[in-house]
């Protein structure tokens, strides 16, 4: 009678010891070059005794960021950027400088993209939803599709609250469906059907942290991936990059999405909720904003229905 050979089970201490060694070898810059304790003491004294595990929602802001921000407001006079005054010019120039630096960070230029500051990533998504030129579905004509990956943020799925009232078809798709519907040849019948469709997906899941292929951007735009491969028209891509850019680079030369909502709140932890919508200038003209206020109108009349929107989409 043969004796069954007992399998030797690897213990957890051995596993963690091995992993720790590998992690140290691969991630040599981990912990701010060995100064992690000093950084914690200088920038995050307020979290002593607390374990913070919500970096998927937002990182923690360093104390120096708050001090520098307060110091900047104390020393400079910032006025209304839509007026013509020294203080207004300072605000305008500062905002434009920041816009340029944001585009530079994502390897894009002002000729390619515009930066629209919003109150947060959700506001950026809502702006696209309300400004996109949706076409309703009719008996004689196929309308627009609003399609999104099922692993999308609540604020992305919430766009269907806008589209459902406009006769637009809502089409949630899984990762498997996107990949299984791939076609090798580029679809070239957009000239026949110009119906605008919008496909949304996250560069990184807000729920589980899974990263999705950035190549989906070009694949959908070229109608080589489902659902674009099965539906005629012009497909635009909204890449939800809020979670992704909080800890990873994003090169817009490699994935030229049409709309990219981001959150500075997730990147810096600065307690304002500030975000932005990056819009590709070549498609900016399709966005039709109806409400105007503040400095977003180039001219208007209060006595009659006359309104001219600002030429620059960032001002609009």
User: Are 124 and 287 in contact, with CB atoms under 8 Å apart?
Assistant: no
Q: In this structure, what token pair is assigned to residue 251?
A: 């090169």
Residue 262 confidence (pLDDT): 97
Q: Do 183 and 35 belong together in one domain?
A: no
Q: Do 46 and 128 belong together in one domain?
A: no
Query: The pTM is what?
Result: 0.86
Total number of domains constituting the chain: 2
Q: Do 233 and 121 belong together in one domain?
A: yes
Is the per-residue pLDDT at 192 higher than 70? no
Q: What Cα–Cα distance (Å) separates residue 29 from each residue in 25, 26, 64, 205, 249?
A: 10, 9, 22, 26, 17
User: Are 115 and 264 in contact, with CB atoms under 8 Å apart?
Assistant: no
Q: Do 173 and 273 belong together in one domain?
A: yes
Q: Could you give the CA distance from residue 121 to residue 240 in angstroms, rounded to a whole number? A: 9
End-to-end CA distance of the chain, in Å? 84
Residue 19 confidence (pLDDT): 46
User: Are 134 and 183 in contact, with CB atoms under 8 Å apart?
Assistant: no
Q: Could you give the CA distance from residue 32 to residue 7 in angstroms, rounded to a whole number? A: 41
- Nearest alpha-carbon partner for 260 in 89, 69, 127: 127
pLDDT in tens, 132-150: 999 998 877 889 999 999 9
Q: Do 184 and 287 belong together in one domain?
A: yes
- Nearest alpha-carbon partner for 236 in 283, 278, 179, 202: 283
Return all residues near 175 (Cβ < 8 A) that are at least 6 apart. Answer: 149, 151, 212
pLDDT in tens, 164-188: 989 999 999 999 999 988 776 665 5
Residue 12 confidence (pLDDT): 37
- Residue 166 DSSP one-character state: G
pLDDT in tens, 263-316: 998 998 887 889 999 999 999 999 998 888 877 888 889 999 898 888 888 888
Has residue 293 been placed in a domain?
yes
Q: Do 42 and 181 belong together in one domain?
A: no
If one compares 298 and 117, the residue with the highest pLDDT of the two is: 117
Question: Confidence band (pLDDT; 50, 70, 90) for 70?
Answer: very high
Domain boundary among 51, 71, 87: 51
Has residue 284 been placed in a domain?
yes
Residue 182 confidence (pLDDT): 79
Has residue 131 been placed in a domain?
yes
Q: Could you give the CA distance from residue 16 to residue 4 in angstroms, rounded to a whole number? A: 29
The total number of residues shown for the chain amounts to 316
Residue 289 in 3-state DSSP?
coil
Angle at CA of residue 301, ends 300 and 307, nearest 5°: 35
Has residue 140 been placed in a domain?
yes
Is the per-residue pLDDT at 5 higher than 60? no
Q: Do 47 and 122 belong together in one domain?
A: no
173 burial via Cβ count (<10 Å: 0-12, 13-18, 19+): middle
Is the per-residue pLDDT at 4 higher than 70? no
pLDDT in tens, 214-224: 999 999 999 99
Has residue 4 been placed in a domain?
no
CATH of residue 231's domain is 3.40.640.10
Domain boundary among 51, 70, 94: 51
Q: Could you give the CA distance from residue 74 to residue 39 in angstroms, rounded to a whole number? A: 26
Q: Could you give the CA distance from residue 69 to residue 74 in angstroms, rounded to a whole number? A: 9
Domain boundary among 10, 31, 51: 51
pLDDT in tens, 210-260: 999 999 999 999 999 999 999 999 999 999 999 999 889 999 999 999 999
Q: Do 130 and 32 belong together in one domain?
A: no
Is residue 39 within a helix (H) or strand (E), and if so which, with residue range? helix 36-43
Cβ atoms within 10 Å of 154's Cβ, excluding its own: 10
Return all residues near 49 (Cβ < 8 A) that are at least 6 apart. Answer: none
Range of the domain at 31: 23-51
Has residue 134 been placed in a domain?
yes
Angle at CA of residue 198, ends 197 and 201, nearest 5°: 150
Q: Could you give the CA distance from residue 63 to residue 46 in angstroms, rounded to a whole number? A: 9
Has residue 156 been placed in a domain?
yes
Q: Do 45 and 162 belong together in one domain?
A: no
- Per the DSSP assignment, residues forming a β-bridge with 173 are 149
pLDDT in tens, 6-54: 444 443 333 334 444 555 566 666 666 667 788 889 999 998 888 888 7
Has residue 62 been placed in a domain?
no
Q: Do 130 and 40 belong together in one domain?
A: no
Q: Do 261 and 163 belong together in one domain?
A: yes
Q: Do 126 and 235 belong together in one domain?
A: yes
Q: In this structure, what token pair is assigned to residue 188?
A: 């070239």
Q: In this structure, what token pair is assigned to residue 162?
A: 């806008």
């Amino acid at each position: 009678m043969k004796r069954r050979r007992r399998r030797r089970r690897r213990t957890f201490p051995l596993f963690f010891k091995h992993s720790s060694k590998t992690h140290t070898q691969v991630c040599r810059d981990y912990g701010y070059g060995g100064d992690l304790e000093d950084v914690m003491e200088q920038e995050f004294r307020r979290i002593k005794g607390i374990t913070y595990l919500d970096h998927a929602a937002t990182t923690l802001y360093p104390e120096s960021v708050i001090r520098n921000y307060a110091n900047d407001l104390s020393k400079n006079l910032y006025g209304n950027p839509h007026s013509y005054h020294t203080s207004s010019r300072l605000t305008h120039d500062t905002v434009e400088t920041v816009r340029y630096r944001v585009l530079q960070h994502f390897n894009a230029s002002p000729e390619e993209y515009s930066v629209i500051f919003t109150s947060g990533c959700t506001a950026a998504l809502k702006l696209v939803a309300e400004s996109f030129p949706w076409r309703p579905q009719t008996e004689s004509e196929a309308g627009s599709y609003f399609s999104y990956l099922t692993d999308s943020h609540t604020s992305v799925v919430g766009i269907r609250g806008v589209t459902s009232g406009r006769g637009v078809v809502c089409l949630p798709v899984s990762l498997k469906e996107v990949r299984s519907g791939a076609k090798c040849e580029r679809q070239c019948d957009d000239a026949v059907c110009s119906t605008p469709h919008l496909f949304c997906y996250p560069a990184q899941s807000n729920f589980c942290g899974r990263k999705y292929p950035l190549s989906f951007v070009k694949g959908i735009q070229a109608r080589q991936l489902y659902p674009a491969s099965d539906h005629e028209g012009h497909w635009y891509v909204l890449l939800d990059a809020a979670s992704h850019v909080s800890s990873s680079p994003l090169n817009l030369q490699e994935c030229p999405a049409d709309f990219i909502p981001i959150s500075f709140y997730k990147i810096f932890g600065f307690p304002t909720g500030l975000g932005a919508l990056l819009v590709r200038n070549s498609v900016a003209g399709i966005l039709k904003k109806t409400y105007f206020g503040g400095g977003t109108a180039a001219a208007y009349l209060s006595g009659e229905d006359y309104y001219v929107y600002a030429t620059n989409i960032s001002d609009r």
